[in-house]
Amino acid sequence: MPIFVYRTEDGEEHEEYFHPSEKTPETIKLPDGTKATFDLGATMRPRGGRLEGGKAAWPKKSNAFGVHPSQVPEQMRRDPKQKFDRKTGEAIFDSPGHMKGCLKRAGFTDLDGV
């Protein structure tokens, strides 16, 4: 299922994973009772990227290129230039060039052209 982003009145973002896209609620109730409204713009932006002037900013995170957190040290030995979030195992790319190099060294290609 897609990752949906909801925003509270004070601007805090919350990710929601638990519903199919055809049943996306306009508002959700957070565990603390606060209401958050669906944010299409934040939902559509690249995962881990921030928007600055309409363009995705770096660094970006990737689940697809990530590993299990227990595998992070081994992956970093294989490619010392690659970065990972040690808690989640997500790959972290600092720039388009950094991402391209990491993917190339691993034998992958970015089909999205980011």
The answer, yes or no, to whether residue 3 has pLDDT greater than 90, is: no
Q: Give the C-alpha distances (Å, rounded to integers) separating 70 from 48, 55, 63, 74, 83.
A: 21, 33, 15, 8, 14
71 shares a domain with 91: yes
81 shares a domain with 66: yes
Q: Where is mean pLDDT largest: 1-5, 36-40, 53-57? A: 36-40
Distance of CA 93 to the CA centre of its chain: 11
User: How many angstroms separate the CA atoms of 38 and 12, rounded?
Assistant: 12
The domain of 14 spans 4-44
pTM: 0.51
9 falls within a domain:
yes
Longest dimension (CA), the chain: 46
pLDDT at 18: 65
112 falls within a domain:
no
93 shares a domain with 63: yes
35 falls within a domain:
yes
User: How many angstroms separate the CA atoms of 81 and 79, rounded?
Assistant: 5
29 falls within a domain:
yes
114 falls within a domain:
no
Token output for 6: 């909801």
User: How many angstroms separate the CA atoms of 42 and 27, rounded?
Assistant: 15
Instruction: Give the residue-averaged pLDDT of 19-46.
Output: 79
